[in-house]
Amino acid sequence: MKIRDRIRELRHVPANELLPNPKNWRKHPDRQRAALRALLATIGLADAVLARETPHGLQLIDGHLRTETAGTATLPVLVLDVTEAEADLILATFDPLSALADTDRAAATALLESLRLEDGPLADLWTDLASLTAEKPKADTKPKTYCCPDCGHEFTRDEADGTREDDDEAEE
């Protein structure tokens, strides 16, 4: 597979000069804002925001909260060579794609336990992250079956709602 490099350049731009993307669908609660401020104060910048050139200036694709939080500070910006439609696809999928990853509970627990965080927004963030390592109850994967009192046919709830896995076979 050939992968195109869409990064045109790395620029350092004052945050207040970056244009927010009107299609940004993420909302940032106060708890997240506080955790980001604490991380920026503790670590500093460790990632670039993503933007594309428009006739009006650099428009954000990813990094809205960092940009809002930074005020007039200069941010590293990866300027991408993408169309508006491609930028929309990145905006829609960039973070959710990461969320699809499975959690290695043992590795996550070990990492989180190695962090020594005092009370405050980072400790609250740690608590939220620790919930990822908690053992989740296993869902019952076998669908519940029901029996028709008239004919004795057994079926699942999906079948009762009008959808059956063997509908295609029944039509043939």
Q: Give every strand in the sheet of 74-80, ordered side by side.
A: 7-14, 74-80, 49-54, 57-62
Tokens matching residue 136: 């989740």
CA–CA gap between residue 62 and residue 72 (Å, rounded): 18
Question: Is-above-0.85 flag for pTM?
Answer: no
Domain extents in the chain: 7-99, 102-135
pLDDT at 112: 75
Architecture of domain 7-99: Alpha-Beta Complex (3.90)
Mean pLDDT (the chain) is: 82
Rounded Cα gap, residues 82 and 51, in angstroms: 9
Q: How far apart are CA 130 and CA 118, in angstroms?
A: 15
Do the bridges between strand 74-80 and strand 154-156 make them parallel or antiparallel, or are there none, so unpaired? unpaired
Can you list the residues of the chain whose pLDDT is less than 70? 117-119, 126, 128-145, 155-172
Annotate the chain with three-state secondary structure: CCCCCCEEEEEEEEHHHCECCCCCCCCCCHHHHHHHHHHHHHCCCCCCEEEEEECCEEEEEECHHHHHHHCCCEEEEEEECCCHHHHHHHHHHHHHHHHCCCCCHHHHHHHHHHCCCCCCHHHHHHHHHHCCCCCCCCCCCCCCEEECCCCCCEEEHHHHCCCCCCHHHHHC
